[in-house]
Structures are given as C-alpha cells and as structure tokens.
Structure 1
Amino acid sequence: MTRTAVVICPGRGTYNKPELGYLHRYHANRMAQFHEFDAIRAETGQETVTALDGAGRFSVSKYSRGDVASPLIYAASLADARSLAEDIEVVAVTGNSMGWYTALAAAGALSAGDGFRVVNTMGTLMQERLIGGQLVYPFTGEDWVDDPARKAELLAHVARIDALDGHDLALSIDLGGMLVLAGNEEGLKAFEASQPVAQERFPMRLVNHAAFHTSLQAPVAAEGRARLSGEMFGQPDRPLIDGRGKIWWPGATDTRALWDYTLGHQVTEPYDFTRAVQTAAREFAPDLFIVTGPGATLGGAVAQSLMLGNWRGMADKAGFQALQGQAPFLIAMGRDDQRGLVAAQ
C-alpha cells in the first residue's frame, strides 16, 4: 500500500556536533554523488564536503559558517530525500529558508550538481558579506497555543524599531510558533533589550547567520543572479511549494520566473515557512510529512505550523502529541527512532 508524503528540507543550523559524520554514517553508498560535490568545491579551493563530514572534531565557529554549513546540509538533506522507501509517493516538496535550494533539487527543478552550485554559491556569498544577523523569539507559549494578538504586537514592535534612525529590523522567517527576526546590530540589540526572556532561552541569536530574507541581502541577491544562470532551472518533476505558499507545478512552471524568485524574492523578502507547510497540508493532504536530515529541530516548527492551521483538529502541543502517538505522521529522518519508518532498508 502506497503512503503519500510531503518532503520538507531543513535550512541552516541543522548540522551540529551530533550530525558530524552524517554522510558517511547514513549514505556510504552515495559517495560518488558527494565526490561530484567535492569537485565543485575544489574549483574554488574550498575544503571538500566529504572531508568536512569526515573530520575528527566539530567546532561551532567553523561548522556554523555559511560556506561550510550550507553544502553539508544540502548534501545530507538531498541524500535523505532520495533514499525513501519504495512504498512512499512524494506528492510535493518544500523547505525552510536555505532548504528551498535543496527542495529545488529534490523536486527535479535543478540537477543535484546544479543545486549544489546554487547552495554553495549563496552560502559562500552570505558568509563573505555577513550582512546583519538573526534571532529567534516565540509568540506562543510552551503549550503552542496560538496567540495572534501577541504575534501582531511583536511585529508592530519590530516595525517601530526598524523606523528608528540607524536601526534595521524585519521579519525574516515565519516559523510555526516562532518569529525569526533579522537586521543590523542596532536593530537586534534594541529588540533583545525590550523583550522578556521566554522559555529560558529566547531571544536567541543565531551564530554566523546573516540578515536572511530581508532587503539587507540585496547585494547578495544581485551577485547570486550574476553568477548563477537561469539555464540551470528546469521543470520540476514534483510540485514545489515556495516561501510564499505558491505551488510550482510540473509541466506548468515558468523556469525563468522560478530562477527570478529563487535569487530575488526568496533572498530579500520574508520567508513564510508556516504558510508553505499549511499549503502542503491543505492542497495535498499527505499521509506523512517527512523532514529530511540533518538534525531534527525543524520538526517542532512543522508541527506548530500544522497546529496553527488546525490540521486534523490539533489545537495545542498535547493535541499534536496525541495524534502523533496514535500513528506517527511527522517523521524526522535525523532521528534514529524515526528514520527507519521511511528510509529504504
């Protein structure tokens, strides 16, 4: 019996110390593909993906860099997406932030090699420029109950800070019950100083993250467009859901427009991951939502996005846990206790 699934590719921040060795551990049979990526890195004198993954020790300062994290996450995520069990039919693909680039390859709009060129180029440009930064702050409590008034209040406060002289601050990613905010140091500090500590860890700065998905990234977008040709983009084999909730359909995609979105709006405008997940649920009603590795931190945002959309009547964290306990429908391949439910044996 076929199981339908939406595949969701994670973004930055998902390759951490526990993930070191992910490619060698789970995808030793795909080394030829990874060596293709190594050759692309070698063209610009960068350390290879297989060497980075096979290193003896992990350091946050190195592995959180855009030119290191992005290619590792892409390689791991795409390999996971291509190693699903035969009874799984992928009905759509989406991703969070950098995961959009992986989704393009997982859906067939980019070849594996061209997808790697896109993610490696953009990750390197982001690191070289490192314009601004990001932080995370929740608008829901630990029970995940929706609080639209609190969300509106926070976004209004962000707009007030952004209006101050010398301050830049904007919504970067709508991430389930979290807001990812991005801006310059003055804007980020003003927000941090004005909000109470939530859940003992927020607001949380993201190390080596630039002001993704804001107008501050316009120079990066322009350079990416100059380096990456629209000829790389083709028709997807599967429906693709972007960071606005728009669906790019096989056989009906304007590939130039897809290039333009990927290296334009996707870089400089807010990324609505919540809407992407809700669109996937509403339009495709899959049996499973499969979050590819590395890591498993995106699972909470997927669950919150579904809950905020009242998927299957879920209204809070307890409701999600009850449904998930009956029959797991949200599978994180970065978790050993869940990977075997969907990965080919």
Structure 2
Amino acid sequence: MSAKQLEQVAQATKTAFVFPGQGSQKVGMLAELAEQFSSVTETFAEASAAVGFDLWQIAQSGEGLNQTEFTQPVLLTASIALWRVWLELGGVAPKYLAGHSLGEYSALVAAGAMSLGDAVKLVNLRGKLMQDAVPEGQGAMAAILGFDDAQVIELCAQASAAGQGNVEAANFNAQGQVVIAGDKAAVEAVMAAAKEQSGKAIALPVSVPSHCSLMKPAADKFAQALEHTAIELPGLPVIQNVNAEIATDVAGLRQALTAQLYQSVQWTKTMQFLLDQGVEYVVECGPGNVLANLAKRLPNINKAFPLDTKSRMEDALNAILVAEGKIA
C-alpha cells in the first residue's frame, strides 16, 4: 500500500501505532511468525543486505543482540516486519504513528519517510556513535517511580549541582515514571535521594546513557549522516519524540532526529496528543508489550495490543477491525 493510500485509509480510524525502542529486544523474536509469513525473513534479508551483517541470525541466536550498534537495526527491522505482516493481513492503517526513541525510526519507515535500508544503516551508525560517546561504565540510566516530572527534574538538578557529574530526565514515560540518564555517580545520587523520599529507583541494564547531554558529541556527528540520507515527509503523521509534535518539513524532521539523541523523550506528551486527537486503540508494533502496557493506563484508551506473536497479532487484527467497524 502506497503512502498516499495509507493516508486516505487512515483518516477515519481511531487507531495509533507505537514502535518500541531499545530494551524490547529478546532472543528468538518473531520466530513463530516467521514460520507462517515469509515476509518476516524477507524483511530481515532486505535489511541485512543494506547493513552488511545477518540481523536475523543476531535476533535468533542472541549473539551481539545487546550491543547497541546491533540492537538498534535488529529492533527496527523486527518492527517493520510486523508492520508488513499487519498490512498483508488487511490490518487497519493507523491515524497516527509514534516511536519511543529508536522506535521513531521504525515509525518513519512505516510512514514512508525513509527506506528500510537507509534507516538500518542510520541506526547502526547511531548505536556506534552513542556507544563511543561515553566510555563504558561511566554512564548510567535509572527509572524513578513515584514522583511527578518536576520533582524528578529537581532531584537531577540537585545531584548535578553537588558536583558528582551531570544527570538529567531522559524519558518522560508516564505519570509517575521518569527515566534519568547521565554520569554514573550522579545517577546513583538521584536514586538514593528518591529512595530516601519514599520513591522507587531501578537501575536499567544499559551500556549507554541515552537522551542526555552526554550524547551531544554523538548527535553532532550523526547530523552529518542524516544530511546525506534521503528523507521525505511521512505519508502518515509521525509524532516526534522531542516535542510531541508532527513534523511539517524535512529540515525540521532532521533537526528533531538529531536533537532526540541528547534531549528527553516526551512520551507522556505524545500519548496525551493521541488522546486529544480521539485515538481509542493503540497497537505496539515491535517485540514485547512495554508501550501497550503504558497505554492501558490512560483514560479513553479502550484497548492496547502488542503484535509480536501469532495469537497477539490475530487478537489485535480481529478486535480493531470490529472496533473500527470494518467487520461485524
């Protein structure tokens, strides 16, 4: 289905697609669906040819799967494989698309803004630059639970001012759930302060402190690659991470993708945008169900579905086709 056809079909729907970011990878992802749909392995073969190594082998064996430079192209490819199966089965074209961090690239590919081949090369480079930006062991990320956004920002400011390094709010994921990132000692200081104030703090098993100012050198280098990548305005509206707005020009889209590396992911505002636009159904197009679970917590979201197994794909297809009035 062309981007123009998707746009026309999507206008009347109340469904949004969301694409997950790093952390959703799992060994053996999409293996069950690949047995039934050749488009899954064909999508992985297409992406592997572009990036120069076997993404399906990494996804199935787990070898290198948690290395950022490999994780990112594998996850993007898995998301696009699921998107293609959804369309192949006659799934509803969503009214809006959004992706969490890396997932923004999956959303842009699905919306026709860039090719799969170009996108996997970009995110492979993105992963390398992110990994190189901060020496291993010096950065960290943690989830802070039980505080509002302003409180977490203040905790970060206090820890940074104390001279133990820099720490910032990296992902505003939901009310009462904010991920922080920065220098390891500063992140640990915020975690300790949160626990002292009866909150929760969970260290995340990541090697790169994403979406904070430590990624600015990586962003400067990445901007050059973006300038040499063919990008068009999406055929379906894609909500940007950095401002929870829809890009209106390609230059702005490139700037937002660059800024995304070192600025916060505005996921709470993104989901509020979807609510404000009348979205009632959310489909998570990627391995796992993290974003679907976050969506279920929101008012007016009637259903949220993951797609990463045969049964989940069937449940989502049938429920949304009925909900959207496509079948009785």
Same fold (TM over 0.5): yes
Q: Deviation of residue 287 (structure 1)? A: 4.0
> Partner residue of 1:114?
118
Deviations 1:45-77 (A, max 9, x none): xx420211232xx46xx4222112111110111
Q: Deviations over 1:245-281 (max 9, x none)?
A: 1112xxxx31122112111x21111111111111122
**1:134 Cα deviation (Å)?**
1.1
Aligned equivalent of 1:162: 160
Instruction: Write the distance in 1 (CA, Å) between the matches of 2:224 and 2:206.
Output: 24
Question: Structure 2: how far apart are the matches of 1:106 and 1:239?
Answer: 11
* 1:65 aligned partner: 67
Structure 2: distance between partners of 1:211 and 1:22 = 33
Q: How has the CA–CA distance of structure 1 residues 26 and 256 changed in structure 2, closer, same or farther, with 3 Å as cutoff?
A: farther
1:342 equivalenced with 2:320 (yes/no): no
AA aligned opposite 2:50: I
Q: Does 1:128 align with 2:132?
A: yes
Show the counterpart of 2:95.
Answer: 91
Residue 281 of structure 1 aligns to which amino acid in structure 2? L
Q: Which ranges in structure 2 are unaligned for 5 or more consecutive residues?
A: 1-8, 319-328
Contact 1:241 1:247 in 2 (8 A): yes
Displacement of 1:165: 1.6
Structure 1 position 21, deviation (Å): 3.7
How big is the alpha-carbon RMSD for the aligned residues of Structure 1 and Structure 2? Answer: 2.8
* TM-aligned CA deviation for residue 163 of structure 1: 1.5
Structure 1 gap segments, 5+ residues each: 140-146, 313-319
Residue in 2 that maps onto 1:51? 57
Could you say what secondary structure the match of 2:125 adopts? helix
Does the 8 A contact of 2:133 with 2:215 survive in 1?
A: no
TM-aligned CA deviation for residue 9 of structure 1: 0.3
* Residues 101/29 of structure 1: CA separation in 2 closer, same or farther (3 Å cut): closer
Aligned to 2:290: 297
**1:101 and 1:118 in contact (8 A); partners too:** no
Q: Which residue of 1 aligns with 2:42?
A: 32
Of the three residues 248, 256, 261, the one matched with 1:261 is: 256
In structure 1, give the amino acid aligned to 2:69.
D
Moved more, 153-162 or 203-212: 203-212
- Counterpart secondary structure, 1:302: helix
Paired position in structure 2 for 1:235: 233
Structure 2 vs 1, CA of residues 212 and 186 (structure 1 numbering), >3 Å: closer, same or farther?
same
- SS at structure 1 position matched to 2:316: coil
CA contact (8 A) 2:22 2:102 kept: yes
Report the alpha carbon displacement of residue 231 of structure 1 after superposing the two structures with TM. 4.5
- Work out whether 1:221 is the aligned partner of 2:215: no
TM-score (norm 1): 0.79
Cα deviation, 1:139-174, whole Å, max 9, x if unaligned, reads: 2xxxxxxx64xx433321111111222421100000
Given candidates 264, 282, 307, the residue that maps to 1:333 is 307
Aligned pairs, number: 302
Task: Pick one of 169, 173, 184 that aligns with 1:171.
Answer: 169
Aligned-pair distance for 1:198?
10
CA contact (8 A) 2:170 2:181 kept: yes
Once the two structures are TM-superposed, the CA of residue 237 in structure 1 deviates from its matched residue by: 0.5
The aligned amino acid for 1:233 is I
Q: Residues 6 and 290 of structure 1 are in contact (CA less than 8 Å); yes or no, is this contact kept in structure 2? A: yes
Which one-letter code corresponds to 1:302 in the other structure?
A
Answer whether contact 2:133 2:214 (CA < 8 A) is retained: no
In structure 1, give the amino acid aligned to 2:46. Answer: E
**Which residue is 2:244 aligned to?**
245
Percent same amino acid among aligned pairs?
21
In the TM superposition, what is the alpha-carbon distance from 1:39 to its structure 2 partner?
1.9
Helix, strand or coil at the partner of 2:282:
strand
Q: Given residue 82 of structure 2, which amino acid in structure 1 is its aligned partner? A: D
Aligned partner of residue 50 in structure 1, secondary structure: helix
